[in-house]
Amino acid sequence: MMAGTLHAHHSFTAEFDVHLKAKLRGTITEVWFKNPHVRYVFVVKNEKGRDET
């Protein structure tokens, strides 16, 4: 038996800096669900006014 909380196969703190914040403004073009993951695809304008995904 094991006690305590188990995490999925990813370590959030190893992949992401929880202190780094960013704001993105764009249009969500796709939402992809595959348990246990969710992926959002969106389009934003770059500094030249061109669309980037």
pLDDT in tens, 16-45: 888 988 888 899 999 999 887 899 999 999
Q: Are 49 and 30 in contact (CB under 8 A)?
A: no
What pTM, to 2 d.p., does this model score?
0.52
For residue 37, the model assigns a pLDDT of: 83
Res 41: pLDDT: 93
Domain ranges of the chain: 12-52
Q: Which two tokens stand for residue 46?
A: 């770059």
